[in-house]
Amino acid sequence: MQQYLIKRLLLAIPTILGAVTLVFFMMRIVPGDPVALFVPPDTPGPATEELKAQIRAQYGLDKPLHVQYVAFVKQMMTGDFGRSIRQNTVVAQDLLLRIPNTLQLGVLALLFSTVLGIGVGVISAVRRGSWIDRTVMVGALFGVSVPDFWLALILILFFSLNLGLFPPSGWGGPIYTVEGFKHIVLPALVLGLSGAGSLARYTRSSMLEVINNDYVRTARAKGLRESVVILQHALRTALPTIVTLLGLSFGRILSGTVIVETVFGWPGIGRYLISGINGRDYPVVQATVLLVAISFVLANLISDLILVYVDPRIRYD
């Protein structure tokens, strides 16, 4: 088991380094002068050349590529993401302010997605072929097909503008307050519903693989309650696949925050990324993209470590 853990850790490091390298080269393969990416678009013409020289020196863009790369990796690893071109604020501090908001949204969405997705997936598998199964699968297919951004707008239209139950956008304070909770419900619902559909389909599939096995039949023959048979015997065996899917769900939720935070005006890193793109604020863009990529790699690492705990076969390999 220790060997497996060490192997996974060692695999994560080059993947993170690879992501940093990809971002580095992407910013430099742009046709034309990469310095132009860092010049505010509303800079007057004569000032542009002087500003370009300043930026070249500031970001080391006048140095050889390999020197730039080493400096870039060092900066990214130490959290020195530079300053926002638009707001002249320290990008790392901006991100630190926004990460908790995205985390709250992401965790709530993941919780919702997990409970709903796994729950209906198990029910669907147990009642295979029934109207419940068919309804759940059609619902899951809708969940997988519906665009996040459209679902968000429809929920705002119905629950906020028509019924006035929830605010249409913004952050209402900490999640444990009434206003704070009301503001997070709709965005978490949108994020969670999309992931739930996919999770339901895969859970059903995994459960169907195990539900007809001999040991499940034996458990029933022993006279155990159906809930015990399903939850302790069948679901337990399907759990490794589900844990892997949860890791992927986290990634889907992370990338989904880009859209959902934009629609709901939620002050998280997804909205920060889009504002950076629209404002051509490339220090913001590269820092946010890297942060999300690294978070995803770490989330998959954690899900693999949980997998080791859940699946004894990996422990004893």
Phi/psi for 173 (5° steps) reads 115, -175
Which one of residues 71, 205, 216, 224 is an interface residue with other proteins (CB under 8 A)? 205
Interaction between residue 211 and other proteins (CB under 8 A): no
Q: Which residues contact 235 (CB under 8 A, 6 or more apart)?
A: 122, 207
- With tokens 């790392």, the residue in question is 92
193 binds other proteins (CB under 8 A): no
Task: Establish if 53 lies at the interface with other proteins (CB under 8 A).
Answer: no
Q: Which residues contact 276 (CB under 8 A, 6 or more apart)?
A: 84, 86, 282, 284, 285, 288
Instruction: For tokens 């020289």, name the residue.
Output: 53
| Contact flags string 84-123 toward other proteins, x per CB under 8 A | ----------------------------------------
Cα torsion 110, 113, 119, 122: sign: negative
The residue whose two tokens read 């023959």 is 221
For other proteins, the binding residue among 73, 92, 99, 153 (CB under 8 A) is: 153
Size of the site for other proteins (CB under 8 A): 50
By CB under 8 A, is residue 15 in contact with other proteins?
yes
Of these, 14, 170, 173, 174, which contacts other proteins (CB under 8 A)?
Answer: 14
Neighbouring residues of 118: CB distance < 8 A, sequence distance ≥ 6: 199, 200, 203, 242
- Nearest-angstrom CA–CA distance, 283 and 175: 30
> Of the candidates 1, 96, 142, 170, which one interacts with other proteins according to CB under 8 A?
142
Which one of residues 113, 237, 262, 303 is an interface residue with other proteins (CB under 8 A)?
A: 262
Q: Which residues within the stretch 272-311 sit at the binding site for other proteins (CB under 8 A)?
A: 273-274, 277-278, 282, 285, 289, 292-294, 296-297
Among 138, 187, 129, CA closest to 159: 187
Closest separation in Å from C-beta 275 to other proteins: 11
Contact between 165 and other proteins by CB under 8 A: the answer reads no
Q: How far is CA 184 from the centre of its chain?
A: 16
Amino acid symbol at 31: P
Interaction of residue 170 with other proteins, rule CB under 8 A: no
Residue number, 175 or 260, with CB nearest to other proteins? 260
With CA atoms as reference, report the closest residue to 126 among 253, 248, 22, 211. Answer: 211
Site for other proteins, rule CB under 8 A? 11, 14-16, 18-19, 21-23, 26-27, 30-31, 37, 141-142, 144-150, 153-154, 156-157, 161, 205, 251-252, 254-256, 258-259, 262-263, 273-274, 277-278, 282, 285, 289, 292-294, 296-297
